[in-house]
Chains A and B, each alone.
Chain A
Amino acid sequence: MGRYIIRRVLQAIPLLFFISIVLFFLMGQLGDPVATMGGRRVTRPSDRERLTRQLGLDQPFYKQYLYWLVGNDWTTIDMDGDGIGDTNGTRRGIVRGDFGMSLMKRGQTAWDVIWDRVPNTLLLMVTAEIVIIIFALLIGIFSALRQYTAADHMITAVSFVGFSTPIFFFALLSIYIFSVNFKRWGLPSLPAVGMFDPQVGKTPGQVALHMVLPVFTIAFVSIAAYSRYIRSTMLEVLNQDYIRTAKAKGLHGRQVLLVHALKNASLPIVTLIGLDLALLLGGALVTERIFAWPGMGRLFLDHMQRFDTPVVMGILVILSISVVVFQIITDLTYALLDPRIRYD
């Protein structure tokens, strides 16, 4: 098992390296971070020329990538524009743990900018994921057991609504119903934006209250998809011979369902969840934006719009690593769930 993990990690290194080159190249093509530094006005041409030089954005692609990868503390930068390098570089490069300085949040390292958002993102996404898994399992198993009943048909119909609703529409709809209109009707309403009410302060109760709508939004759409998936895998397993055997042995219904059926049906579900977990760190782009939740998805969008390469690349690299790690974990989980799978 240990050798298997080491082999997988070693295989991932060239892959991550390749991904980083492609992403860095694409980032460079997207736009010029200096173009938006003039605020509402177009950046003055002389400032633009100076900033491009000082921030090293006039360097060829390979040099910019090299500085990002291994740092520039072995060379000098031309800060005063006389064509001669006069200031020693201070960056150590991502391979030495330096993500670079944000081009947008001046004065902060890209790592700090990203790390600030990790707890908020995980809080929202892990909560949503837990809600998704619990409800999807309950609904999926329920409709598998009650196949073709009225309840199953109704769940199917609602699932398709969830499936086909764009998340932004659902998010705005929920704000207008539970936040704006409930307030107008004099009913207890839910907050629409942010993490807490400044009048009250940032208490766990406030954060939980402000999480209701975003979690509900993320969960609704995903539960629809997951529960359909669980329903079909459960149906497949429930028709297997060993389930009949288990029942014939006189095992309790719940034991048959949870130990024999669900465990065997969960293998494809684990694959799905494994992929999802890896991307939890990335946050939810649309939901975080609409509910003004300070997570990673919004960070990514904000910094992407300003072409802040260090931060965007930092997020993408972290996500890439996270995908690789969770892939390995998912593979290992298979072995736990299915004794027939061996990696040694």
Chain B
Amino acid sequence: MRKITWPALLALLLAFGLVLAACTSGGATTESPAATDEPAVDEPAVDEPAVDEPATDEPAAEQPVAEGDRKIATFIWTQEFDTLSPLYTAMWFTTTTYQLWNVWAWHFDENSNPIPVLVTEIPSEENGGISEDGRTLTFNLRDDLIWSDGTPLTSADFVFTYEMTVDPANTVGTTYPYDQIETIEAPDPQTVVVTFTEPFAPWLAWMWRYILPEHVLRPVFDEAGSLDDAEWNFAPTVGIGPYRFEEWESGSFARFVRNENWHGERPIIDEIFFRFVPDDASQVAALQNGEGDLGTFIAYSDVPALENAGIDIVTQPSGYNEGWYFILGDEQIPGHPALQDVRVRQAIAMALDREGLNQDLLLGLTKVPKTLWDSLPAYVSPDIEPFAYDPDAANALLDEAGWVDTNGDGVRDKDGVELVLVHGTTTREVRQDSQAVAQQQLAEVGIQLDIQSFDSSIFFEDYANSGPPYTGELDIAQWSDAPAFPDPDHYYWLCDQIPTDEAPAGGNFSRICDEELDALFRQQLSQTNVADRQQTFHQITQIMHDQVYWLGMWEDPDVWAVGPRLLNARFSGVTPLFSIAEWDISE
């Protein structure tokens, strides 16, 4: 018998490995079109400047699996889903896919206006959907809702969703806002009536962000006693949306194909292919060479290179704003004495050239936010006059506050205390750059800024785990955060959120307890009348601005890179892919 040589054996092994790798998942499937004529979104497509360039020359197919001219769009996701079950994740890269296969009861458009998807209309006081006392909401469901496997979706699925979210047998990511509900009823298959313990204003932003298919998951729960280990969590074969889940290969890709049972507008693209590319530089390269049609979380420094390659950059406000939180402290954890004086905080605001910083570090693609609520302009007081860059005025204010340089060391002082502030943020590059700029600018008005940066896993630890913003080691903390967007609620600022050793769970790391602000934040939570709530927020934003409890550095919108093949792409800051059914891909 002929002896097999080593090279031949190795070649054989390699070929076997390739076949094995290729066989671990099936190729693309073919869909037969079936028209449904009910548009979910009734707005015309807007004029995104998409370039009609022909498809790029991908390597030739050896064995084409796809038949016909299937339209496939490739989205680059820099993080892989952790799980697909909405019960167990709040990860942006997962929840953003829900507009494809597990829609919210209503989506939000690019202006953050709600669009009914599963309900016939958004409940309001006028249409009787909100009770007079603001505690009871009535949701009327469409009568043509069908899960992707053909089973009708009814109010029972809504009730089941609530039950599974609050059942302690499930280790869900968050029980909010369902833990605020007193009763939930389904008087008929198309009606859901929810009564809260108190009037609950943020319902529009937080209710029904997912619906669970009872006919699939109830048997699992009954048998296992929990949904924690359900196969649906990572293979949600039944959902509701313009697309349905097809497959997810760990670390590599996930595919969603057109759902022919979708009641809304029939999607134009046949298949959405998510490719997980964790490295930012590789994402940019993949967009440049046409391996991806859509990218997200683009670094500002990469924008010129992408635009040169014909890629459109779209920024969409998502409620997030980068800013400085002044940590004032209290008796338990005292803050720096200078920060207790509002004039010092105002002087800091005027000593920083934040417009210049936006131009230099963020290429002028962002603006300086006046308040934490700038993405929700209706809630921002129209009377706010932003602090302009004025080092002379800053110097004058600091002198007036009694902080002067008595010992000639270049740093202001008062009663023997030097005006040295500790500023902390995460290790993100643009943050560290902005720290250095701020340090230089504050030095010019006699304030020494000691800068520190932390790994985000350490920086965002809570009080019990000695997160740096909580311990008193920082005077100023910088990061990007949002209100409960598109709802304006923001819970950090309540007095009872100040953590103590006895009650360490609070999130008020600044330890600011402004009684007027506290009362207004409590008041707005129960104001289900939008106009009333906006008035309350005008007062809140005015106080927050005048007191400089928070100082905006730059708006932090979602940054999307749209490849030249992708057409009609519009984004929302809340439900980013809300108009996915209208998107098209040029050949």
Interface residues of A (CB under 8 A from B): 30-32, 35-51, 54-55, 79-81, 87, 101, 104-108, 113, 116-117, 119-120, 122-123, 126-127, 130, 172, 175-176, 179-180, 183, 188-189, 191-209, 289-295, 298-299, 301-302, 305-307
Nearest Cβ in chain A — how far from B48, in angstroms? 23
Contact, CB under 8 Å: A295 / B171: no
Contact, CB under 8 Å: A198 / B255: yes
A38/B174 contact (C-beta < 8 A), A172-B281, A201-B63 known: yes
The docked-state distance in angstroms from the alpha carbon of A274 to that of B521 is 64
Nearest Cβ in chain A — how far from B568, in angstroms? 20
The docked-state distance in angstroms from the alpha carbon of A172 to that of B283 is 11
List B contacts of A291 (CB < 8 A): 282
Contact, CB under 8 Å: A45 / B62: no
Contact, CB under 8 Å: A47 / B175: yes
Nearest Cβ in chain A — how far from B67, in angstroms? 11
Nearest Cβ in chain B — how far from A151, in angstroms? 24
B394 contacts the other chain (CB 8 A):
no
B351 contacts the other chain (CB 8 A):
no
A130/B14 contact (C-beta < 8 A), A87-B225, A176-B285, A204-B19 known: yes
The docked-state distance in angstroms from the alpha carbon of A80 to that of B167 is 9
Nearest Cβ in chain B — how far from A182, in angstroms? 9
Nearest Cβ in chain B — how far from A14, in angstroms? 33
The docked-state distance in angstroms from the alpha carbon of A55 to that of B386 is 46
B523 contacts the other chain (CB 8 A):
no
The docked-state distance in angstroms from the alpha carbon of A105 to that of B59 is 33
Residues 56-86 of B contacting A (Cβ, < 8 Å):
56-59, 61-66, 72, 74, 76, 79-80, 82-83, 85
**Cβ-neighbour of A292 out of B229, B249, B278, B506 (below 8 A):** B278
Contact, CB under 8 Å: A107 / B89: no
8 contacts between A and B (CB under 8 A): A39-B89, A45-B507, A101-B229, A104-B82, A127-B14, A192-B285, A202-B27, A294-B250
The docked-state distance in angstroms from the alpha carbon of A183 to that of B228 is 46
Contact, CB under 8 Å: B89 / A44: no
B88 contacts the other chain (CB 8 A):
yes
Closest 3 A-B residue pairs measured CB to CB? A294-B251, A107-B233, A201-B65
The docked-state distance in angstroms from the alpha carbon of A290 to that of B458 is 25
Contact, CB under 8 Å: A179 / B289: yes
List A contacts of B171 (CB < 8 A): 51, 54-55, 79, 106
List B contacts of A104 (CB < 8 A): 82-83
Nearest Cβ in chain A — how far from B226, in angstroms? 8
List B contacts of A50 (CB < 8 A): 175
A203/B82 contact (C-beta < 8 A), A107-B88, A194-B275 known: no
A106/B251 contact (C-beta < 8 A), A35-B461, A119-B20 known: no
List B contacts of A205 (CB < 8 A): 62-63
The docked-state distance in angstroms from the alpha carbon of A30 to that of B456 is 12
Nearest Cβ in chain A — how far from B510, in angstroms? 13
Contact, CB under 8 Å: B289 / A183: yes
Contact, CB under 8 Å: A199 / B72: yes
The docked-state distance in angstroms from the alpha carbon of A129 to that of B72 is 35
Interface 9-residue window, one of B90-98, B101-109, B359-367: B90-98
- Name the CB-closest residue of B to A101: B229
Besides A41-B481, A46-B505, 11 new A-B residue pairs in contact (Cβ under 8 A), listed by A number: A32-B465, A35-B462, A41-B90, A48-B462, A54-B171, A107-B228, A130-B10, A193-B292, A194-B275, A292-B282, A302-B251
Contact, CB under 8 Å: B22 / A204: yes
Residues 190-239 of B contacting A (Cβ, < 8 Å):
225, 228-234
- Name the CB-closest residue of A to B229: A107
Contact, CB under 8 Å: A193 / B286: yes
The docked-state distance in angstroms from the alpha carbon of A189 to that of B285 is 12
The docked-state distance in angstroms from the alpha carbon of A54 to that of B226 is 12
The docked-state distance in angstroms from the alpha carbon of A126 to that of B21 is 13
Contact, CB under 8 Å: B289 / A106: no
Nearest Cβ in chain B — how far from A179, in angstroms? 5
- Name the CB-closest residue of B to A208: B18
The docked-state distance in angstroms from the alpha carbon of A18 to that of B111 is 57
Contact, CB under 8 Å: B82 / A202: no
List B contacts of A35 (CB < 8 A): 457, 460-462, 465
List B contacts of A117 (CB < 8 A): 250-251
Contact, CB under 8 Å: A45 / B174: no
The docked-state distance in angstroms from the alpha carbon of A126 to that of B15 is 12
Contact, CB under 8 Å: A194 / B277: yes
**Cβ-neighbour of B18 out of A30, A81, A123, A289 (below 8 A):** A123
List A contacts of B85 (CB < 8 A): 106-107
- Name the CB-closest residue of B to A191: B291
List A contacts of B334 (CB < 8 A): none
The docked-state distance in angstroms from the alpha carbon of A43 to that of B491 is 12
Contact, CB under 8 Å: B168 / A193: no
List B contacts of A38 (CB < 8 A): 90, 173-174
The docked-state distance in angstroms from the alpha carbon of A38 to that of B82 is 12
**Cβ-neighbour of A203 out of B20, B62, B89, B465 (below 8 A):** B62
The docked-state distance in angstroms from the alpha carbon of A55 to that of B168 is 12
B24 contacts the other chain (CB 8 A):
yes
Contact, CB under 8 Å: A290 / B282: yes
Contact, CB under 8 Å: A207 / B228: no
Nearest Cβ in chain A — how far from B254, in angstroms? 11
The docked-state distance in angstroms from the alpha carbon of A51 to that of B58 is 46
A200/B277 contact (C-beta < 8 A), A107-B83, A123-B17 known: no
List A contacts of B76 (CB < 8 A): 193
List B contacts of A175 (CB < 8 A): 281-282, 285
A206/B291 contact (C-beta < 8 A), A106-B228, A126-B13 known: no
List B contacts of A201 (CB < 8 A): 27-28, 61, 63-66
List B contacts of A81 (CB < 8 A): 168
B541 contacts the other chain (CB 8 A):
no
List B contacts of A54 (CB < 8 A): 168, 171
Contact, CB under 8 Å: B458 / A31: yes
B99 contacts the other chain (CB 8 A):
no
The docked-state distance in angstroms from the alpha carbon of A318 to that of B128 is 61
B271 contacts the other chain (CB 8 A):
yes
The docked-state distance in angstroms from the alpha carbon of A34 to that of B243 is 31
The docked-state distance in angstroms from the alpha carbon of A170 to that of B24 is 30
Nearest Cβ in chain A — how far from B252, in angstroms? 4
List A contacts of B182 (CB < 8 A): none
Contact, CB under 8 Å: B462 / A45: yes
Nearest Cβ in chain A — how far from B208, in angstroms? 18
Contact, CB under 8 Å: A127 / B17: yes
- Residue of B21, B62, B83, B175 most packed against chain A (CB within 10 A): B21
- Name the CB-closest residue of A to B74: A198
Contact, CB under 8 Å: A120 / B21: yes
List B contacts of A101 (CB < 8 A): 228-229
A113/B285 contact (C-beta < 8 A), A80-B168, A119-B24, A198-B273 known: no
- Name the CB-closest residue of B to A88: B225
- Residue of B174, B458, B499, B506 most packed against chain A (CB within 10 A): B174
The docked-state distance in angstroms from the alpha carbon of A294 to that of B174 is 30
The docked-state distance in angstroms from the alpha carbon of A160 to that of B368 is 49
B442 contacts the other chain (CB 8 A):
no
List A contacts of B19 (CB < 8 A): 204
List B contacts of A200 (CB < 8 A): 58-59, 61-66
Contact, CB under 8 Å: A113 / B28: no
Contact, CB under 8 Å: B291 / A194: yes
B290 contacts the other chain (CB 8 A):
yes
The docked-state distance in angstroms from the alpha carbon of A43 to that of B232 is 24
The docked-state distance in angstroms from the alpha carbon of A165 to that of B376 is 49
The docked-state distance in angstroms from the alpha carbon of A208 to that of B22 is 10
The docked-state distance in angstroms from the alpha carbon of A123 to that of B22 is 11
Contact, CB under 8 Å: A198 / B59: no
Nearest Cβ in chain B — how far from A141, in angstroms? 16
- Name the CB-closest residue of B to A305: B457
The docked-state distance in angstroms from the alpha carbon of A183 to that of B291 is 11
